[in-house]
Amino acid sequence: MSIATPGKSVGLSVEAIDHVGIAVPDLDAAIAFHTAIFGLELVHREDNVEQGVAEAMLAPPAGHGLGGTQIQLLAPLTAESAIARFLEHSGPGLQQLAYRVPDVDQAARTLRDRGLRVLYESAKRGTRGSLVNFVHPKDAGGVLIELVQPAAPSR
């Protein structure tokens, strides 16, 4: 893993921590837990068949946000999905850290140029029509890093 010198431009523009992904075996139970115990609100839910996950995005109540950072709960849709394999291998828990970037393909090229493994040749569809790619955890200190380019606002 290459480390940038503090204060030097790294050529990669991370705009925010977009979300933290948590793998769960039961999406409804996890939503109920995080809303009842921590007071988070369900802001989006969808099935992403391409990724093989049912997912929910939760956030603090309006006015108490964390700069837009959300919690993403991920449950497997199939036994063959990456989340199912993660749960089988590691059990429920923190699965990934997602950085918001303005251009996911450019970010992936920059990281590849630095010798990091990026999982997809080109971005795939993520939550709410975003574009996503991932940095291999062995190249990022043991953490699966997701790169997220939010979908353009609909008009």
Average pLDDT, the chain: 90
- DSSP for the chain, please give it: ---PPTTS--S----EEEEEEEE-S-HHHHHHHHHHHH--EEEEEEEETTTTEEEEEEEPPTT--STT-EEEEEEESSTTSHHHHHHHHH-SEEEEEEEE-S-HHHHHHHHHHTT--BS-SS-EE-GGG-EEEEE-GGGTTT-PEEEEEPPPPP-
**Domain limits, the chain:** 16-149
| CATH classification code of 16-149 | 3.10.180.10
Tell me the pLDDT tens digit for each residue of 75-101.
999 999 999 999 999 999 999 999 999
Tell me the pLDDT tens digit for each residue of 19-50.
999 999 999 999 999 999 999 999 999 999 99
Whether the per-residue pLDDT at 9 is higher than 50: the answer is no
Quote the pTM value: 0.84
Which range has the top average pLDDT, 63-67, 116-120, 124-128?
116-120
